[in-house]
Amino acid sequence: MPEQKSSNNLPPIDLTTDDNQQQQQQQQHQQQKPDQKNTISNKEESVSNESQQCNLRKEKKKQIKWLKETPAQQRERFIRQLRAELTVKASDGGRGGGVARQPFKRGGSGINGIGSSCSRDRASREADHRSTVNYSVDENPERGNWSGRLDFVLSCLGYAVGLGNFWRFPYLCFSNGGGAFLIPYAILLLLCGIPVFLLDLSLGQFTSEGPATCWEFAPIFTGLGYSMVFLSTTVSTYYNIIISISIYYTFASMTSTLPWNNCSHHWNTNSCTDRLPFVSCGEGQPQPNGTCYNGTIFLGIYNESLFQKTTGLRRILASEEYFNREVLKVSGDINKFGSPDWKLVMCLLLSWIVIFLSMIRGIKSSGKVVYFTALFPYVILLIFFIRGVTLENAIEGIRFYIVPDFSALGKARVWKDAAGQIFFSLSCSWGGLMSLSSYNRFHNNVIRDTFFVTSANCLTSVFAGFVIFSFIGHLAGNLRVPVSDVTRSEFGLAFIVYPEVMNLLPGSNYWSILFFIMIFSLGIDSQFGLVETLITALCDKFFVLRRHRLPLIGAVCFVMFLLGLPFTCSGGLYLMNIFDRYLSGWIVLLVGFMECILVGWVYGRPGFGKFHRFTEDIALMMRQSISPVWRYMWQYVTPALILFTLLASVADLGRTEYTKGKGDYYPIWADALGWLLSVIPLLIIVGTGISRLLMEPVGISWWRRLRDLSIPTYTWGPAIPRYRLLMAPYLEKLGVLKYFYLDPKRNIKFIDVFPIESLNNMDE
């Protein structure tokens, strides 16, 4: 019989397991879970690594395959990639960020599938507007884009709102009818300032190009962009001196007593106010020349107007002597030029170091710096406004500023000054606005930004006038002179009148530090735009420099520092006046006039009925039609106003004076230098046009050359192919679609990507 196994040989089963044993088993089970999770994660990592390695191997094989391609095969691959990129999937619903990218067929109404933004349905446009823009990813990786929604707006605001808003506008306002000056100012803002501002922003944003390369819609006029770069570069060399002076004053204010507080310093003269005090002359003997003596002891002046008339002398503020004799060490005339002052040189070097560090990553870094430099001046202006209106006699200065004299509206000079101030305060036609907007995304609302920046700029000018004249009224009351006698224009307002006012305030050194930091902030923003104009022009013209942007910025800042050294000499102030007078005058107006003519009449030439190319280009960016008013402004109203201002400015030009109205003129060579500087941009425009004519193929008539160089090239348009595609509907109507390059960098035409059945009826 087989042997049976006894049950006693089996291991005993304990049916009386207690709670402690159950807890131990649960703990052991829980300890095993992390080990299992770690095992699973390790497996996942290994799978992930294997997947990455597999993808890398595939990519490497693909690159090896591409290296073996012939140029024809490579071009065909690029065409396939571009076609795949621009072809909409069925699930996309036909939008694709404002570009309807379907296969193209010719139909009775033109090319079907290319959804011109003007004809898109309203729901589709609203859906696009609601879509979130990812600012962490550049739309144009090769060039870069602004990394924040407000970066561009604040950069434009900082570039436009500069020192001219702070000292030039209030001076023009009270000298041209007070509050009545605001009437022509507002009218010309609408008719002249806003159209040119929009033109500059739109041109840069549409092409994603700076001023040096965005003029291919009329190649013969590319010199216009080079002239803008020249103007911005030249102005930035002396504009930074003003920033350097504000740094100088900031450090000088870090003392318990301001150095211009009294007339006891070695740089003060006997004409300083403390040494010629006002007296009532009750106990002395009044003299016929307005002075008062007690025997042989000089007591002071009892009648300043009589003193000035009889002696030809005037009382000089301590702040004025500090500015001229200590800070700038101004010589007697421009012929005594002197050598650079080491203190100003150090401040100039520091200002360029700040600019370099702020622009070290291009618009990515400067776009963040402007959050402080563009907004901080408004905080300080508000603080100064609250303090200013509470001062004694402040109302006298404000009344002098705003009381209207409507009879001034009948003078041509008032309208000329208003147009000039609008044009210059908005920084139009310098190239900076084009450079800044060239880093925008294609569908940025450029019209909204235009109205915001121009309105904020002009309101800032008006508000700054209230701040300034509240302090001037207080100073006039303390000096016992009319408000007009303490008012200065240009540099005098910022570095003479205001420092003198600081002496009258408790805690004057703290107020002075705040004020000059504000001046620094106002100037540095504008300097960003001027330097960026040159950097953008170089990078657009020489693509290899984009990979070496940091050394380029360093080299530009260093060269500009060297070019600014002459302005730190004893005759530097006179040289600065020459540069400012001739470079910011008629030549800038001429550039603005040519802009309007080119966009209004050359690029948007008549003959197509209501169709105007530039307004259509803006409509493509805006995703909707824009008012035809803009077209008529660029064609008629704005150039007429600029031409009037230009002619009036040229007629008003005379020899430069050391003191306005005194007849003490600069030497002839100084004015000749100024005229040479202002003519150089004109020579650049003419010379570039002639060279382009001569570069045309031999055998073509001059009239044909001129005509061909006055129409857009087939590579003209947006930088990104999917946005270039938006131009197809109106290019078909113009009969040039078959010549249009969809990807100019790879030499790919529209018909290479989307062959059209019949293009024979298109006119060449």
Segment 54-73, tens digit of pLDDT: 766 666 666 565 566 778 88
**Region 683-695: what's the mean pLDDT?**
94
pLDDT of 764: 38
Comparing 99-108, 307-316, 587-596, 725-734, the range with the smallest average pLDDT is 99-108
Strand partners, 298: 293
Nearest Cα neighbor of 325 from 276, 268, 243, 271 is 268
- Same domain for 719 and 609, yes or no, is no
Residue 246 CB partners (closer than 8 Å, separation 6+): 516, 517, 519, 520, 523
51 is in an annotated binding site: no
- Same domain for 656 and 728, yes or no, is no
Residue 555: is its pLDDT beyond 90? yes
Segment 222-246, tens digit of pLDDT: 999 999 999 999 999 999 999 999 9
The enclosing domain of 547 has a CATH number of: 1.10.4160
H, E, C per residue of 317-361: CHHHHHHHHHHCCCCCCCCCCCCCCHHHHHHHHHHHHHHHHHCCC
Comparing 580 with 174, which gets the higher pLDDT? 580
Comparing 360-374, 614-628, 707-721, the range with the smallest average pLDDT is 360-374
Residue 743: is its pLDDT beyond 70? yes
pLDDT band at 605; cut points 50, 70, 90:
low
Residue 40: is its pLDDT beyond 90? no
**Region 146-163: what's the mean pLDDT?**
89
- What CA dihedral angle connects 301, 302, 304 and 306, to 10 degrees? -110
pLDDT of 489: 55
Domain boundary among 660, 691, 722: 691
**Region 36-56: what's the mean pLDDT?**
57
Domain boundary among 656, 691, 726: 691
Nearest Cα neighbor of 430 from 599, 683, 232 is 232
Comparing 136-150, 207-221, 238-252, the range with the smallest average pLDDT is 136-150
Say if 87 falls within a structural domain.
no
- Phi and psi at residue 78, to the nearest 5°: -60, -40
- Which pair of tokens denotes residue 94? 């036909």
What is 83-141 written as a DSSP string? HHHHSPPGGGTT-TTT------EEETTEEET---GGGS-HHHHHHHHHSPP-TTS-SST
At position 200, the amino acid (one-letter code) is D
Residue 297 CA to its chain's centroid (Å): 59
Instruction: Output the furthest CA–CA distance in the chain (Å, rounded).
Output: 159
- Same domain for 685 and 718, yes or no, is no
Going by the DSSP 8-state scheme, the letter that residue 300 receives in this structure is E
- Same domain for 661 and 725, yes or no, is no
Say if 536 falls within a structural domain.
yes
Residue 106: is its pLDDT beyond 50? no
* Alpha carbons 246 and 323: distance in angstroms, whole number: 11
Domain boundary among 691, 715, 732: 691
Say if 469 falls within a structural domain.
yes
- Same domain for 638 and 732, yes or no, is no
pLDDT band at 97; cut points 50, 70, 90:
very low
- Which pair of tokens denotes residue 567? 């302005």
Say if 301 falls within a structural domain.
no
- Same domain for 682 and 716, yes or no, is no
The pTM (predicted TM-score) of the whole model is: 0.84
Give the count of alpha carbons within 13 A of 361, CB side only.
Answer: 9
55 is in an annotated binding site: no
* Alpha carbons 503 and 497: distance in angstroms, whole number: 10
Q: Counting Cβ atoms within 10 Å, is residue 297 exposed (0-12), middle (13-18) or buried (19+)?
A: exposed
**Region 160-188: what's the mean pLDDT?**
83
- Same domain for 163 and 223, yes or no, is yes
**Region 124-142: what's the mean pLDDT?**
67
Segment 195-211, tens digit of pLDDT: 999 999 999 999 999 99
Domain count, the chain: 2
165 is in an annotated binding site: yes
CA distances from 661 to 163, 421, 524, 665 (A): 24, 22, 33, 10
Please state, rounded to an integer, the average pLDDT across all residues of the chain.
82
- Same domain for 607 and 743, yes or no, is no
Say if 412 falls within a structural domain.
yes
- Same domain for 437 and 481, yes or no, is yes
- Phi and psi at residue 659, to the nearest 5°: -125, 120
Comparing 135-139, 513-517, 637-641, 660-664, the range with the smallest average pLDDT is 660-664
Say if 154 falls within a structural domain.
yes
The domain in which residue 732 lies consists of: 707-758
* Alpha carbons 408 and 390: distance in angstroms, whole number: 31
Residue 300 CB partners (closer than 8 Å, separation 6+): 276, 277, 278, 279, 281, 291, 292
**Region 610-623: what's the mean pLDDT?**
89
Look at strands 285-286 and 110-112 and give their pairing.
Answer: unpaired
Residue 436: is its pLDDT beyond 70? yes
* Alpha carbons 510 and 63: distance in angstroms, whole number: 64
The gap between the terminal CA atoms of the chain, to the nearest Å, is 112
Over its C-alpha atoms, the chain yields an Rg (Å, rounded) of: 35
- Same domain for 636 and 720, yes or no, is no
- Same domain for 667 and 727, yes or no, is no
Residue 433: is its pLDDT beyond 90? yes
Residue 477 CB partners (closer than 8 Å, separation 6+): 392, 393, 396
- Which pair of tokens denotes residue 365? 């870094």
CB 333 within 8 A of CB 327: no
- Same domain for 667 and 739, yes or no, is no
151 is in an annotated binding site: no
161 is in an annotated binding site: yes
What are all long-range contacts of 145-148, with beta carbons under 8 Å and residues at least 24 apart?
A: 145/363, 145/439, 145/440, 145/441, 146/363, 146/367, 146/439, 146/440, 146/441, 147/363, 147/364, 147/367, 148/367, 148/368
